[in-house]
Structure 1
Amino acid sequence: MPNDGEHRTMSEDSQGPPLLVIKGSFAQYGGAERDVVRQLEAWSHVFEEVRIATLHSHPELEAETKRLGIPLFTPTDTWTEGSSAIDRITAGSSRAASKAWRRFLISGGDTGTLTNALDGITAVHLVSGAGSLEVVDALPDEIGVHVHMLEPNRGLHGETVLWARIDGSQPRPATLTRLLLTIPRRRDRRIVKQLASRTQCRFSGNSPYIQSRIKEVFDIEAGVFLPCVDTNHWTTHKESTVKDSAYVVTIGRASWVKGTWECIDMLANSKLKLVLVGGGDPSDLEKLSKHAESNQVELEVAPRLDHSDLVELMASARAIISLAHGEPFGLTPVEAHAVGTPALMVDEGGFRTTVEDGVSGRLLPRSDKNAWLQAFEEAADPENRSKWGIAGRKKIKELGLDSNSRARDLQSIIQGQET
């Protein structure tokens, strides 16, 4: 392991060029940000050198780059995404990010400027998210760019589920919301078009579903670069033989887009409790609680759990369920596969990548209550639990979601772009 501050280089048999990883912000430190941090070590083994640049760092990113000796470049002044209505309507936050990247070219923190980060770089791995794509104006034309688009900006491009209240109702007519978002939507399209017009630029979605959404929204032919999942973190010594478990688990902050309200609808008359991991806005949770009560569904909310507690909770559940709308990849069923608990997912979006219906779990129609009630019974069958668990873990292996496989795929994408 290199000393603190020493640049990490590849082993002698490494073939990839020096790589600069760019992401606008790590402030939220959700799944997308963790995915980048989780893969840094594997990337450092297949590229000559790895560097990372961001407008807003995070302690976890700083600790990992320090451990690995990966140079982390940040600006003198941290950029933070705006959250006001004015910012959203005028694209003010996006404009500020563009300016921040340009300033970063000449003004940086202790490690140096963005210009220093780009020195000697021929390939950039650009991870989408707040403030990310706005770097386009700061990148020299001769540098190849791989855009890992985790999803087109859902709130801007016609997915009304993002605007909905917890119960699915809209805060205003959808046509009015679309009108209000005209400026940021046009700006987003312009930035993506600018990236796509570069001599060397390649887009990848993080699932076949997102690949199709990129084509639908931007008319861009994209590849697929799947996320990384460390299944070792999801193993448990508990055998998945639960046949009388009285609860199911859904994961994610309570919202309409995550399908939380509809989970309760499907559980009516099942006599199963719903455990919601992820919490939510207090007013939303109050409405959700009343909805559960009216459907005679017991609801338990667990805002935060230690990872080991979450694994044990999942392992003892009847099933892990989700009715999320347009889920980009479908990480929850992968975690369920690793734990060995049946994954019962709505037959939409990225779930189709990670679940094979009747083989490693169930893919179910959104509004078919009888199908869901039958699936809850199937999930209690010890034979199904064992069979689906084995098939699910096989599916994970086939997808190659481990960090080494992901690193080799990225290396192949970058090298293919340079030829």
Structure 2
Amino acid sequence: SLLNPRVLGTTARELMRNRYHRILARQELNSARAYDRILTNSRYSRESMLKAYGIDAGVCYLGIDAELFRPTGAERTRTVVGVGSFDRIKNIEFVIRAVALLDDLRPRLVWIGNSGEAAYQEELPVLAESLGVDYSPRLMISDAEMVEILNTACVMAYAPRLEPFGLTPLEANCCGLPVVGVAEGGVRESISHGNNGLLVDAEPAAMAGALRTFLEDPQGAAEFGRRARAWVLEHWSMPAAIDRLESFFERTARSEKT
């Protein structure tokens, strides 16, 4: 019954939450309309902004710090690495289920994150153990430690839900690491199938099959990683990103004068 105090309390909280989100949406729209030019990090983000606010934004791709993310010559192991906060939207359980399908290879799964939901972090080791996956979470590690792991893994698994862009695969590539990503959102732009990684459907079996390609052929994975790094340096360098941003500034300034 709605006269139940608990029900009334829950309903009031929901109404307040909905009102808060409506106010926030209006504020975001007003803020967006106040700018002469808005840049997004991907075509997918641009389409999302057009759908949400009716605003045409430009696309200015980001660049990678190739001096920080670089090959170190470390020996690679039969390890799958994932990077992303320990939140459900990063779809870590999907990767665990995919790795579980590689039980004959028994790769280790290392997951790096700088934050996350406490409850989700507790669930993941339980799931991994139930599926026989050697799961090693790494929370709040340094950049140097992250680069070390990216240089000792064999392949990266990347499966976030509707990621706006996906910078992490490019950082992995710069360390000479091939990437397997789910073809959703902006990941379809940061991963070019066959050039710096493989794109797969959002099915654990599809992810597992692509991971197997690299895990079963370490030499082939290493060669793919070398090509991936060269491809990223050509298309995603920091100097090129700065040039793109400066070009937008110049065009915006010129349009104001006319």
- Shorter-chain TM range is 0.7 to 0.9
What is the aligned counterpart of 1:317 among 145, 153, 161? 153
Matches within 5 A, 1:2-401: 181-198=17-34, 201-238=36-73, 242=76, 245-270=77-102, 271-278=106-113, 280-367=116-203, 369-380=204-215, 381-401=217-237
**2:180 and 2:199 in contact (8 A); partners too:** yes
**1:204 and 1:225 in contact (8 A); partners too:** yes
User: Can you list the C-alpha shifts for 1:87-111, whole angstroms capped at 9, x where unaligned?
Assistant: xxxxxxxxxxxxxxxxxxxxxxxxx
Query: Relative contact order (C-alpha < 8 Å, sep 6+): which is higher?
Result: 2
User: Can you list the C-alpha shifts for 1:114-172, whole angstroms capped at 9, x where unaligned?
Assistant: xxxxxxxxxxxxxxxxxxxxxxxxxxxxxxxxxxxxxxxxxxxxxxxxxxxxxxxxxx9
**2:173 and 2:179 in contact (8 A); partners too:** yes
Deviation at 1:228, TM superposition (A): 3.3
Q: Which residue of 1 aligns with 2:3?
A: none
**1:276 and 1:301 in contact (8 A); partners too:** yes
CA gap 1:218/1:197 in 2 versus in 1, 3 angstroms: closer
Q: Distance in 2 between matches of 1:222 and 1:281?
A: 32
**1:360 and 1:387 in contact (8 A); partners too:** no
Q: Distance in 1 between matches of 2:167 and 2:33?
A: 32
User: Can you list the C-alpha shifts for 1:165-224, whole angstroms capped at 9, x where unaligned?
Assistant: xxxxxxx9xxx97x66433433344334434545x6111111111111111211211111
Q: Which residue of 1 aligns with 2:6?
A: none
User: Can you list the C-alpha shifts for 1:274-325, whole angstroms capped at 9, x where unaligned?
Assistant: 1111264443322111111111111112113332222121111121112111
Q: Distance in 2 between matches of 1:188 and 1:280?
A: 23
Deviation at 1:254, TM superposition (A): 1.3
Which amino acid is 1:362 matched to? L
Q: Distance in 2 between matches of 1:257 and 1:215?
A: 22
User: Unaligned stretches of 5+ in structure 1?
Assistant: 1-171
Q: Distance in 1 between matches of 2:63 and 2:72?
A: 23
SS in 1 for 2:90: coil
**2:183 and 2:200 in contact (8 A); partners too:** yes
Q: Which residue of 1 aligns with 2:246?
A: 411
Q: Distance in 1 between matches of 2:33 and 2:207?
A: 46
**1:261 and 1:288 in contact (8 A); partners too:** yes
Identity of aligned residues (%): 25
Q: Distance in 2 between matches of 1:346 and 1:408?
A: 30
Which segment is superposed worse, 296-305 or 393-402?
A: 393-402
Which amino acid is 2:48 matched to? R
SS in 2 for 1:357: coil
More helix by share: 2
Q: Distance in 2 between matches of 1:363 and 1:341?
A: 15
**2:196 and 2:232 in contact (8 A); partners too:** no
Q: Distance in 2 between matches of 1:196 and 1:254?
A: 30
User: Unaligned stretches of 5+ in structure 2?
Assistant: 1-9
**1:269 and 1:296 in contact (8 A); partners too:** no
SS in 2 for 1:321: strand
Deviation at 1:259, TM superposition (A): 0.9
**2:182 and 2:207 in contact (8 A); partners too:** no
SS in 1 for 2:67: helix
Deviation at 1:257, TM superposition (A): 0.4
Q: Distance in 1 between matches of 2:16 and 2:60?
A: 33
Which amino acid is 1:267 matched to? V
Q: Which residue of 2 aligns with 1:37?
A: none
**1:204 and 1:222 in contact (8 A); partners too:** yes
SS in 2 for 1:362: strand
**2:42 and 2:61 in contact (8 A); partners too:** yes
**1:354 and 1:395 in contact (8 A); partners too:** no
User: Can you list the C-alpha shifts for 1:31-65, whole angstroms capped at 9, x where unaligned?
Assistant: xxxxxxxxxxxxxxxxxxxxxxxxxxxxxxxxxxx
RMSD, aligned CA: 2.5
The number of residues matched between the two structures is 238
